[in-house]
Each structure stands twice: as structure tokens, then as C-alpha cells.
Amino acid sequence: MTDTIPAWVNGTLTPVEKLEVHRRGLRHKAVSVFVTDGEDVLIQRRALGKYHTPGLWANTCCTHPLWGEAPQDCAVRRLREELGLTGLYPVFRDRVEYRADVGGGMTEHEVVDIFLAPAHGRPRVEPNPAEVMAVEWVGFHDLCARVARWPYRFTPWLRIYLEEHRDRIFGALVRA
């Protein structure tokens, strides 16, 4: 069975094979999650086997919802599948749209539901090695400084979130 995701084709939302979506740069649904503990943010380094942006640092997790899957359910599922995290309750923060070249002739054109998942005390993280090669807790302001200094180490979407949407996503953390 092919891996299909919700994408717009000729103005109609329809299931389309994931690689085709990215090769054609089709506008599609996505979910991004930031797990936080106070002002610290859990980031992940994408596994080297990922079909785009391997080895780059990204937000806690990001994915595409399954056909008919609610965004919050998708966020909970991917926290478990990518990082072994359970018992977190992602809170919807915003919906943003962006378009970015992710290399290899692929484009992300995503309509993203973004969630914050507060973790009180750092939960045990068990990364799925097919998805994640490393994780790190980093202070929000330190993360912003790292992205500004070494943008090539981070995924295009994380750079976009922090450069263009950080107030809307992080609220009080930005002003701390």
C-alpha cells in the first residue's frame, strides 16, 4: 500500500502518494509539534535515511496526517511513533502555510497545524532510529540564536517557524 497524504489537486482535497506530493510541490496538510519544558524545547535531528532533509535539526516532530485523521490525533500518534513519547497533550497554537525547497527536486508546500505539548519534567525519549538520529533539549532563545547563526543545520520549516511565526507559536516564551 502506498503512503498517501491529504493534498489539494485542482482545488479538491484528495489522497496523493507522499513522494508525488513533494516532487510536484502540491499544497498538502501537515502537523508540527514542539514539546516544551518551561522555556526549553525538545528538537530532533532527522535520521540519515529520510528521503529529504536527512541529518538536519527540526522541531520535536512533524508529519502528515493520515486521510481523515484529526490533526491533534496525528500529533499524539507521531510523538509516540517518532520519539516514544506518551501522556502529552498537544495544544493547538496556529495554522501556517509555507513553501520551501527541501532538496532532491522536492518541495514542501504545507498547510501546517502547529501544536505545543508542555512536558512538566523532561519525559524519557526513545527515538525511533528510522526517523530520528538524535534529540536535544535547548533553551528557546538559544535555539533561535543557533538557527540564525547556522541556518544550514536546520530544516527549512523550522527556520520559517522561528523567523516568521515565533510570536504566534510560542507566545510568552518569545517575551521571556
CA 96 to chain centre: 12
Residue at grid coordinates 532527522: 46
pLDDT at 133 over 90: yes
Please say if 144 is a catalytic residue.
no
Q: Which domains occur in the chain, in start order?
A: 4-175 (3.90.79.10)
Is 62 designated active site?
yes
Mean pLDDT, the chain, whole residue set = 95
Contact 115/33 with Cβ under 8 angstroms?
Answer: yes
Catalytic site residue from 61, 62, 74, 144? 62
- For the record, the C-alpha cell of 70 comes out as 484529526
pLDDT tens, 5-38?
999 999 999 999 999 999 999 999 999 999 999 9
Catalytic member of 82, 108, 110, 144: 110
